[in-house]
Amino acid sequence: MTLQWTAVAFFLYAEMVVNLILCIPFISAKRWHLVFNWRIWSWLSPYWNKFFFAMIMALVVLFFDAIREVQKYSGPEPMQDAQTNPNLYDHVHMKLFRAQRNLYICGFSLFLWLVMRRVVTLLNEIAVASENNAGLQAQMDNAFKAAEKHQENSQSLQKALLEREQSMSTTENQLKMVIEKLQSQLNITKEAVRRSNAEVEAIRRQAKGLAQEYDRLLREHSLIQNLQSAEDKKDK
């Protein structure tokens, strides 16, 4: 195995290990999100996309080179030469096996490289979605608590208004009773005043009659005195 295919093989092994670590079930997406937010990744982020596409281009070039090698040693001309020479037959099959091996290594490396990028992206999206879901859940809980509090306040306000209406109705009934009582007392007072006025008028009439009778008696008394004085003068 040449140096370039040895590097691709080690790169494939590293990709397999990284993908297995990323797929460990007891490491949550939030923890991976914290790891991806380390300062070193923010420092490497400007070079990450360039490195990613450079590796894709290199793996694609090696992949097509492996396909060329497979087609080269699986064609009819090498097989015809191998059939005429047994030693060349083993050499051609060895070259074909190495070309197919390199093709598989390069293909799986390219596939796992894309899968690893996708897994990292999905882990970040899941972590962000879970954080947003937690924030939305907290907002929903706060909104639900606010709604419950508003409902309690509304119920207490309705209860207070009902109690106020009841107290107002009770006060109104009491005022009506007081007004009715005062009205009855006013009627009784008016009746007493009317009777008092009638009694005063009767006393006034009686006093007037007594004054007239008194004047009449005075006139008769003076008349009698005048008569007696006149008789006394005649006797003398």
- Residue pLDDT tens, the chain, 236 long: 578 888 888 988 998 888 888 888 777 777 767 777 767 666 766 777 788 888 889 889 988 888 888 887 776 665 555 555 656 666 777 778 888 888 898 899 899 888 888 888 888 888 778 778 777 778 888 888 888 888 888 888 888 888 888 888 888 888 888 888 888 888 888 888 888 888 888 888 888 888 888 888 888 878 887 777 776 666 65
CA distance readout (Å), 196 to 182, 183, 185, 208 = 20, 19, 16, 18
Give CA angle at 205 (200, 211), nearest 5°: 125
* Cβ proximity of 32 and 121 under 8 Å: no
